[in-house]
């Protein structure tokens, strides 16, 4: 297993699962599906743009982010209501129906990145022990873990709500490393979030690999510099 560490820690959302882009696809589908039944003249593309703006506004707000990550259904209602109000697409009731449809269809809209699941299996075949380190609510993350049969692929799973703290808190890294009976120097962490995954891992003394799945490049104001950048976790097998 040259070139690979004894332990690999992985983030779930936007590292194994293609989450953000599948959300955009579902918002787009729903805008086109709902537009004919909304206020006359509602343009699906304008509604989509308003949803993007409302989403960015919501998640930029520290207080909203704190509760939103644990109550995504309510967060989506707030975001949709804001977008509907900005565009005059319809009432709050219509916005809530739109958001609730998204919540119902969300799980089925998610796909893993191409080759991601196979990469996990190959890493295990090569003797790497795997830890899943993910922020968010137990119910939401467990649904995804079950749907993609990830539970049996990991030697340890740490979910923010279950553990009591989330990335970038170093305690979550210490927690999962202790469950894997590993030291920080034995492990790599791979994730897409420069604050949670990269700054967090580096604070914990873990080799940090940034999953730059959109090929954006490292921003100037990055909170931490990763030790390595990959565009797909498949690249980890290349050494």
Among 5, 9, 11, 161, binds Mg ion (CB under 5 A): 11
Contact between 18 and Mg ion by CB under 5 A: the answer reads: no
Measured from the CB atom, the residue of 13 and 161 that comes closer to Mg ion is 13
Which residue, chain included where needed, has tokens 């959302």? 13
Q: Contacts with Mg ion: how many residues (CB under 5 A)?
A: 5
192-209 as b/e, with b when 16 or more CB fall inside 10 Å?
Answer: bbbebbbbbbbbbebbbb
CB of 143 to Mg ion, least distance (A): 16
Among 13, 82, 160, 161, binds Mg ion (CB under 5 A): 13
Backbone angles phi, psi at 129, to 5 degrees: -90, 140
Measured from the CB atom, the residue of 43 and 111 that comes closer to Mg ion is 111
How far is it, in rounded angstroms, from Cα 229 to Cα 239?
Answer: 12
CB of 113 to Mg ion, least distance (A): 12
Crossing angle of helices 72-87 and 44-60, rounded to 10°? 130
Among 120, 192, 201, 226, binds Mg ion (CB under 5 A): 192
CA angle 67, 71, 73 (to 5 degrees): 135
Taking CB under 5 A as the binding criterion, the range among 14-22, 161-169, 172-180, 199-207 that sits at the site for Mg ion is 14-22
Crossing angle of helices 92-109 and 72-87, rounded to 10°? 130
Among 14, 82, 160, 161, binds Mg ion (CB under 5 A): 14
Taking CB under 5 A as the binding criterion, the range among 4-12, 39-47, 68-76, 117-125 that sits at the site for Mg ion is 4-12
CB of 15 to Mg ion, least distance (A): 5
How far is it, in rounded angstroms, from Cα 44 to Cα 146?
Answer: 33
- Interface residues with Mg ion (CB under 5 A) are 11, 13-14, 192-193
């Amino acid at each position: 297993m040259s070139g690979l560490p004894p332990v690999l820690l992985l983030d779930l959302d936007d590292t194994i699962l293609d989450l953000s882009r599948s959300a955009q696809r579902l918002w787009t589908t729903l805008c086109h599906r709902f537009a004919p039944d909304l206020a006359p003249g509602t343009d699906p593309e304008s509604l989509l743009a308003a949803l993007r703006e409302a989403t960015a506004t919501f998640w930029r707000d520290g207080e909203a982010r704190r509760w939103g990550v644990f109550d995504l259904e309510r967060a989506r209602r707030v975001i949709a209501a804001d977008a509907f109000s900005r565009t005059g697409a319809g009432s709050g009731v219509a916005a809530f129906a739109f958001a609730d449809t998204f919540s119902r269809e969300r799980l089925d809209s998610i796909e893993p990145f191409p080759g991601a699941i196979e990469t996990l299996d190959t890493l295990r075949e090569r003797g790497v022990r795997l830890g899943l380190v993910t922020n968010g609510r137990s119910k939401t993350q467990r649904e995804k873990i079950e749907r993609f049969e990830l539970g049996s692929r990991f030697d340890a799973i740490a979910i923010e709500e279950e553990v009591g703290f989330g990335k970038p808190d170093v305690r979550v890294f210490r927690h999962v490393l202790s469950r894997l009976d590993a030291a920080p120097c034995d492990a790599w962490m791979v994730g897409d979030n420069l604050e949670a995954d990269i700054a967090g891992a580096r604070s914990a003394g873990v080799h940090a690999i940034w999953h730059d799945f959109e090929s954006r490049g490292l921003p100037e104001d990055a909170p931490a510099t990763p030790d390595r950048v990959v565009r797909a976790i498949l690249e980890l097998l290349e050494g």
